[in-house]
Homo-oligomer: A and B are copies of this chain.
């Protein structure tokens, strides 16, 4: 898909995703929301809690993409090293952010029983110099933006709150529009050639073909999806894709197939 939209990369930071303990629940949410904002996600990486790896990935990706989003590694424990690694990637001090410290101290004092603002929790008030906190109602420990790098929590509920707090400040592009058609009983291999021809007629769109499976009758089929920023062209491609499915003997239906 060729657009002049800004681009995004996601770094999912955490051994627990790479070991299989935790199934990532953030990529799909962020990808969908960024598409709506016209900032398509071009790459995502899952990387371990290893300083050199985090620093290298942050520096490589912030140079290649308009925005880099990170999830994970901003809690109080020894394996929460995202914030200090971002400071090292930017070559700036990692220091207590006074306004954040005061907000967190007030929050902890309000709790019943009060929560001790110990050294581990103070790490969450410590930010790269120049970072802009991302605050939300879910926690007093903030995410932050450092240049084009946006650092968010890994816990999905908190990540979403931080993303939505940040979203209005992101300069987006034209939203990525999507139209899907599908037909039971049609094989990918049957429509592949025709789909190539539609793609060739609409080079600015991103056409995809996704087989689906269902037990019993009606069994599976294929879903065809057109994505792009030009609504009229997306509509035209969707009509051509529906005609292609009918030519292959299928009953073309709008939208994605029902799961089952």
Name A residues whose Cβ lies closer than 8 Å to a Cβ of B: 1, 15-24, 27-33, 35, 40-48, 53, 75-79, 115-116, 118-121, 124, 155, 157, 176, 178, 187-193, 195-196, 199, 206-211, 213, 225, 227
Tally of this chain's copies: 2
Q: For the complex, what is the distance from the CA of A27 to the CA of B14, rounded to whole Å?
A: 14
Instruction: List 6 additional A-B contacts (Cβ < 8 Å) besides A19-B176, A24-B24, A77-B188.
Output: A15-B206, A18-B40, A19-B178, A20-B28, A42-B48, A78-B207
Chain B residues with CB under 8 Å of A188's CB are 75-77, 120
Measured CA separation A163–B78 after assembly (Å):
34
Counting from the closest, the 7 A-B pairs by CB-CB distance are: A120-B192, A20-B32, A20-B31, A44-B46, A77-B209, A78-B196, A121-B189
Contact A18 B44 (CB under 8 A): yes
Q: Which of B16, B18, B47 contacts A225 (CB 8 A)?
A: B16
Give the complex CA separation of A15 and B35 in angstroms. Answer: 12
A155 to B24, CA, bound (A): 18
Q: Is the CB of A199 within 8 A of B78?
A: yes
B211 with A155: CB separation less than 8 A: yes
Nearest CB in chain B to that of A111: its residue:
B187
Evaluate contact between B18 and A189: CB separation under 8 angstroms. Answer: no
CA distance A255 to B181 in the complex (A): 45
Would B43 and A209 count as touching, CB distance under 8 A? no
Residue in A19, A41, A187, A210 with the greatest tally of chain B CB atoms within 10 Å: A19
A120 to chain B, nearest CB (A): 3
Task: List the B residue with the shortest CB-CB distance to A155.
Answer: B211
